[in-house]
Chain A
Amino acid sequence: MGAGLAVIGAGIGIGLIGYGVAQAIARQPEAAGEIRSQTFLLAILVEGAAILLGLLSLVL
């Protein structure tokens, strides 16, 4: 159940990032590379929190 909750949170977060990135690249295709590396950073941070909680739910 904890894992499920963590996935919901991470899903919303990464979904929002993906939405923003798709729009940003559509508007400025020439900046795609720079946007992509920033995206990774943000997605990682969101995912990191999710994994931490997922592990906690696994351990407890």
Chain B
Amino acid sequence: MFIAEKVGKEWTMDQAPQYAIDHVANSKKNIFEFDFLNSLSAKISNFFGISSESLFYIDLGISKHVFLLFFVSFIVVSTIVTLIQGYISHKKNIPNKFMSIIEMFVIYLRDDVLKNFIGVKEYRSWAPLVYTIFFFVLFGNVLGLIPIFDLTGLIGKIGYNAEMLGKDNILYLLSKGGHTVTANVNVTFAIATITFVAFIAAGIQKYGFVQHWKNLAPSGLPWPLYFVVVPIEFMGLFIRPLALTLRLAGNMMGGHIALIIFITFIFSATAELGGLAGFGIAPFSISLALGLTMLELLVAVIQAYVFALLTAVFIGMAIHVDH
């Protein structure tokens, strides 16, 4: 109640959407400034003739999401890879606690996704890609949900660009954690691009370059139909990674925005109706947010599964053109 009143004084209702957007958006400034990265991005942008004020300015600097991306990659490598390597090298047949969790995911994906959609014969060559995508997206999603993850805020506070934090509002600092890298469209688009390349490569590997593009449209149609079918199939080719991109980013972003909005109900009520109203609405607001967090935990796993599933489905579609 004390914090709510304190914040409520400088809080207005129309602040809430901006606040929620700030929570999911990337930082405007870079966390770490490296001179060689700055000069490199300036060089590349000059090469394409983009000014530094432009939206399309190619900035290679380490912003909040880039840093978190490194962090997620580091965690994936340090947990999954070391666990599996340790398991293989020890030749013990009994997996430990964490290993059995990973094994559960891996076996489920193998039996229900890879063998079903890619095929019993071909699945081995594409399994590493699907597993990597699954675990990367899973860790990115789940890491965004941990509210104590104030690492970026902490690092900003200790030394690098402390003014990046801006307001030293206590609520602002409290909710500074929990950034989801997979809520950034650029990140999901990069992963979707890998999928896009993978399913084209899968088709080319199986049928050869020319035959793969011929497979785009089914053969044996009456010829006028090709004028309709080929453009549709060609558009579908690009819509697939686009849908992947927007689905993951939209899901993660939407969940986090809803979560923040639920919490800001307290402050809006305090600001508009007084401290007692804020105190009254707090239990409902917090329990809603708690329930939504549980739902988000479920969504995090489901979306990672979905991304891996769709990757497998697209690769399978390129390999088995007959259906």
Evaluate contact between B250 and A54: CB separation under 8 angstroms.
yes
Given known A40-B309, A44-B306, contact A51–B112 (CB-CB < 8 A): no
Given known A40-B306, A41-B309, A44-B310, contact A55–B112 (CB-CB < 8 A): no
Contacts of A51 in B (CB 8 A): 246-247, 250-251, 254
Task: Give the interface SS of chain A, mostly helix, strand, loop or mixed.
Answer: helix
Evaluate contact between B309 and A52: CB separation under 8 angstroms.
no
A35 to chain B, nearest CB (A): 11
| Of A37, A44, A48, the contact of B112 (CB 8 Å cutoff) | A37
| Of A40, A41, A48, the contact of B247 (CB 8 Å cutoff) | A48
Contacts of A54 in B (CB 8 A): 250, 254
For chain B residues 82-133, which have a beta carbon within 8 Å of chain A? Answer: 112-113, 116-117
Residue of B with least CB distance to A44: B306
Residue of A with least CB distance to B117: A37
Interface size class of B (residues with CB under 8 A): 10 to 19
Tell me if A33 is interfacial: C-beta within 8 Å of chain B.
yes
B172 to chain A, nearest CB (A): 23
User: Could you give, for residues 217-253 of chain B, a 1 whenever the CB lies within 8 Å of some chain A CB and a 0 otherwise?
Assistant: 0000000000000000000000000010011001100
User: Could you give, for residues 282-323 of chain B, a 1 whenever the CB lies within 8 Å of some chain A CB and a 0 otherwise?
Assistant: 000000000000000000000001100110010000000000
Contacts of A30 in B (CB 8 A): none
B300 to chain A, nearest CB (A): 15
Evaluate contact between B247 and A47: CB separation under 8 angstroms.
yes
Evaluate contact between A41 and B313: CB separation under 8 angstroms.
yes
Residue of B with least CB distance to A34: B116
What's the Cα separation between A54 and B246 when bound, in Å? 10
Contacts of B246 in A (CB 8 A): 48, 51-52, 55
Evaluate contact between A52 and B250: CB separation under 8 angstroms.
yes
Evaluate contact between B243 and A48: CB separation under 8 angstroms.
yes
Contacts of A41 in B (CB 8 A): 309-310, 313
What's the Cα separation between A41 and B311 when bound, in Å? 11
Residue of A with least CB distance to B248: A51
B164 to chain A, nearest CB (A): 26
Contacts of B310 in A (CB 8 A): 41, 44
B272 to chain A, nearest CB (A): 23
User: Could you give, for residues 48-59 of chain A, a 1 whenever the CB lies within 8 Å of some chain B CB and a 0 otherwise?
Assistant: 100110110000
What's the Cα separation between A36 and B302 when bound, in Å? 13
Evaluate contact between A33 and B243: CB separation under 8 angstroms.
no
What's the Cα separation between A44 and B306 when bound, in Å? 7
| Given A47-B247, A51-B250, A52-B250, 19 more pairs with CB closer than 8 A | A37-B112, A37-B116, A37-B309, A40-B305, A40-B309, A41-B309, A41-B310, A41-B313, A44-B309, A48-B243, A48-B247, A51-B247, A51-B251, A51-B254, A52-B243, A52-B246, A52-B247, A55-B246, A55-B254
Binding site for B on A (CB under 8 A): 33-34, 36-37, 40-41, 44, 47-48, 51-52, 54-55
24 pairs of residues in contact across A and B, judged by CB atoms under 8 Å: A33-B112, A34-B116, A36-B112, A37-B113, A37-B117, A40-B306, A40-B309, A41-B309, A41-B310, A44-B306, A44-B309, A44-B310, A47-B247, A48-B243, A51-B246, A51-B247, A51-B250, A51-B251, A52-B243, A52-B246, A52-B250, A54-B250, A54-B254, A55-B254
